[in-house]
Chains A and B, each alone.
Chain A
């Protein structure tokens, strides 16, 4: 494992501004295209444009797909339920961040 100490691994940020294709998304999320399109139908992920032949997705779709997949498997929610949970989780995350900031400012 000596090599690991010398080698610097370059990471890529999966942020909203990154655009990824359907085939890249399949590879990154380990899901077949049919599942991804189903997740898209239910709003787990959103493509940049709905009408084009070539789908492009936001970088954070990878996290949303993987999380939805785990929620479906572990909690037996359906795809619509997973999409709802993801949206609510996202909102809670933002609210917690804001709350923490406001609490810090009141100190």
Chain B
């Protein structure tokens, strides 16, 4: 078991006042709340923070923790000294709806698991007598999956309470059918695949948040898809029919004459399928051929002579 430095986790000194601890907690809770944070490890940090605060905000637990001494380093192998908590009386009150099942072994070895009574808060964690807890996870799919639907095996780690009410980490694999037409950021609900209820009570639901893998040439925004379409200068100026890939197959796209760089051509209904499907936008990008031999240099020279063209006219020079 690893030692946890609760002061380091909260970024405060060992002599911080109770007020400082509270302020540090509030600030970090906003930073690492999994619904708000963009940090990759937000969920883990938020849990650690909750555990650290649970100990440090309570003067009784804080004093007991301090007694372990300051020579311990975070991550160091740790076993609680025998009868380390002798002479401390824990009242266990003031448990602010934090999720005790999520606390580390380190916390449990010091303060036990069942010793705290849950306060009368209205969080999800307290509803033991109702159905099991709802759980959520992220799932990474390809754009192709969104177009055609797909079956994906996903593995989910979760904690489950056994018959004695002790949490156990379990991993399970689910075969999930991803319905056609899902979009980035949407949620899929899998009924009764969340945490099991205690006894014979109904299990909670599992919510999967959809995330798209980056694609080499399609970019997705909502239900619309964007695709860069490189054009030769003569194709853009004279008009052309060009071949273009789409997620449902190749198409011929008509480029009107005098098209300009960055212009978007909309292909209606070729975005992500839905009752009102999204659109596909071809974003025109004019590519210039290199002049690296006599013939091609001559072609550019001809252009220079034949066009009276000042690309900086709008800059007044």
B-binding residues in A (CB < 8 A): 1, 4-15, 17, 28, 30, 60, 62-63, 66-67, 69-71, 73-75, 85, 89, 93-94, 97-98, 100-101, 104-105
With A85-B36, A101-B221, A105-B226 as given contacts, are A13 and B181 in contact (CB-CB < 8 Å)? Answer: yes
Query: How many residues of chain B have a CB within 8 Å of chain A?
Result: 52
| Inter-chain contact B175/A7, CB cutoff 8 Å | yes
| Inter-chain contact A12/B134, CB cutoff 8 Å | no
Q: Mark B10-54, 1 if CB is under 8 A from A, else 0.
A: 000000000000000010011001011000000000100000000
| Inter-chain contact A97/B187, CB cutoff 8 Å | no
| Inter-chain contact B36/A30, CB cutoff 8 Å | no
Q: Any chain A CB within 8 A of the CB of B165?
A: no
> Please, how many angstroms separate the alpha-carbon atoms of A93 and B205 in the complex?
24
Additional A-B contact list (10), CB under 8 Å, known A7-B175, A8-B176:
A4-B173, A8-B151, A13-B187, A30-B124, A30-B127, A67-B35, A71-B36, A73-B121, A97-B185, A100-B219
Q: With CB as the reference atom, state the residue of chain B lying closest to A10.
A: B177
Q: Across the interface, which residues of A come within 8 angstroms of B204, CB to CB? A: 30
Q: Across the interface, which residues of B come within 8 angstroms of A98, CB to CB? A: 221
Q: Across the interface, which residues of A come within 8 angstroms of B283, CB to CB? A: 105
Q: Distance in Å from the Cβ of A102 to the closest Cβ of chain B?
A: 9
Q: Distance in Å from the Cβ of B118 to the closest Cβ of chain A?
A: 13
Q: Which 3 A-B pairs have the closest CB atoms?
A: A11-B188, A101-B219, A8-B175
Which residue, of A13, A75, A89, has the highest number of chain B Cβ atoms within 10 A?
Answer: A13
> Please, how many angstroms separate the alpha-carbon atoms of A9 and B174 in the complex?
7
Q: Distance in Å from the Cβ of A3 to the closest Cβ of chain B?
A: 10
| Inter-chain contact A5/B175, CB cutoff 8 Å | yes
| Inter-chain contact B35/A13, CB cutoff 8 Å | no
| Inter-chain contact A28/B179, CB cutoff 8 Å | no
Pairs A–B under 8 Å by Cβ, sample size 29: A5-B175, A8-B175, A8-B177, A9-B175, A9-B177, A10-B179, A11-B177, A11-B179, A11-B188, A12-B189, A12-B191, A13-B181, A13-B182, A14-B188, A28-B189, A30-B130, A60-B186, A60-B187, A63-B207, A66-B207, A70-B33, A71-B33, A73-B97, A75-B26, A89-B36, A97-B221, A101-B221, A104-B214, A105-B283
